[in-house]
């Protein structure tokens, strides 16, 4: 009897750890990392107006934001199970490895952790975390989920980006929102909203089945590619124009502009056609550009 009890006691933590690991994979780690980079960019840009931001405050803010974005993307996985299965995605919920009810419980725990840790940073951070969770819920689970329309997608994604950079400002503890945070945050959030729509190129089958009105569903694949290429290019070159007077933001803007050119070439060329893996290449260029832009920013700030 003692052996059985011990086995059960050991089995429960192992099952829970395994569920959390699957929940992490469902939340797309590559996306979670870039959200942390956005937060840290906001901290660094706002921190230049402060003497020093305590490391403990930054760590608490980062954990709060990780819990928040993890909850949002895990909830999205629960909501997108029909589309993900139709598109043949190998995510844990779509495969049946992670039960949606278990995932939902993890979402609640993460959301609570985000709010508690946000409150530990400041009231402003708590409010931003709450707004972030509200937008994430409206995107995936609202009475009329924002993800169902292109306009709703753009609004939600841009809002999630802006709130992330504002969270970085809140972590820095600066009373006035510095111009560089606003400029960089606005342009990178627009990049998320417009260039990020390239993910829909590979998901048209499931999106159509789920009743989502994305650009490929509404316009067809080739016209959607043209619109996405133009939109990404507009953001990239508008960033260059806006950052032309800024010493350390101009190199970042150039990186985004170059990324927009690469995205347009891939989206309009043969490299972006074919099977699902090749249709994801424009989105991969979008993600690579985000990483490159933030790493360039951190490098420029070291020499500013």
Mean pLDDT of 93-105: 92
Per-residue pLDDT, 295: 97
Partners of 213 in beta bridges: 149
Model confidence at 191: pLDDT above 70: yes
Q: Tens digit of pLDDT for each residue in 27-46?
A: 999 999 999 999 999 999 99
pLDDT band at residue 50 under the 50/70/90 scheme: low
CA distances, 111 to each of 56, 89, 96, 130 (Å):
21, 25, 23, 9
Mean pLDDT for 230-251 is 93
Q: Is 107 left (phi over 0), alpha (psi -120 to 50) or beta?
A: alpha
Indicate yes or no: pTM above 0.85: yes
pLDDT over 50 (residue 8): no
pLDDT surpassing 50 at residue 158: yes
Percentage of residues in the chain having pLDDT higher than 90: 69
Higher pLDDT, 289 or 14: 289
**Rounded Cα gap, residues 45 and 47, in angstroms:** 5
Rounded Cα distance between 56 and 196, Å, is 32
* Residue 143 pLDDT: 84
pLDDT band at 273 (very low <50, low <70, confident <90, very high): low
Q: What radius of gyration, in Å, describes the C-alpha atoms of the chain?
A: 20
Residue 87 has pLDDT above 90, yes or no: no
The token pair at 202 is 């590979």
In the structure, what pLDDT confidence band is assigned to residue 296 with cuts at 50, 70 and 90? very high
Is 7's pLDDT higher than 60? no
Burial class (CB in 10 A: 0-12, 13-18, 19+), 119: middle
Residue 3 confidence (pLDDT): 38
């Amino acid at each position: 009897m003692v052996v059985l009890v011990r086995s059960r006691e050991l089995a429960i933590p192992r099952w829970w750890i395994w569920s959390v690991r699957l929940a992490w994979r469902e939340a797309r780690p590559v996306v979670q990392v870039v959200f942390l980079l956005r937060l840290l960019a906001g901290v660094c840009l706002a921190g230049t107006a402060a003497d020093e931001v305590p490391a403990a405050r930054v760590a608490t803010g980062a954990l709060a934001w990780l819990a928040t974005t993890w909850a949002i993307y895990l909830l999205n996985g629960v909501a997108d199970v029909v589309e993900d299965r139709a598109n043949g995605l190998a995510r844990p919920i779509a495969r049946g490895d992670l039960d949606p009810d278990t995932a939902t419980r993890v979402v609640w725990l993460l959301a609570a952790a985000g709010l508690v840790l946000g409150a530990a940073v400041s009231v402003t951070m708590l409010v931003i975390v709450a707004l972030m969770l509200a937008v994430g819920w409206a995107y995936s689970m609202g009475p009329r989920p924002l993800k169902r329309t292109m306009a709703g997608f753009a609004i939600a994604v841009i809002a999630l980006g802006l709130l992330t950079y504002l969270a970085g400002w809140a972590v820095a503890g600066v009373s006035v929102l510095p111009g560089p945070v606003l400029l960089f945050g606005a342009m990178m959030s627009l990049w998320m909203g417009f260039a990020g729509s390239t993910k829909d190129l590979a998901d048209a089958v499931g999106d159509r089945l789920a009743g989502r009105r994305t650009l490929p569903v509404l316009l067809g694949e080739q016209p959607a590619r043209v619109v996405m290429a133009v939109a990404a290019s507009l953001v990239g070159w508008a960033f260059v124009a806006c950052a032309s007077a800024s010493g350390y933001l101009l190199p970042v803007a150039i990186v985004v502009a170059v990324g927009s050119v690469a995205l347009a070439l891939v989206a309009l060329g043969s490299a972006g056609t074919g099977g699902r893996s090749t249709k994801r290449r424009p989105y991969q260029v979008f993600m690579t550009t985000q990483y490159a832009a933030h790493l360039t920013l951190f490098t420029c700030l070291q020499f500013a």
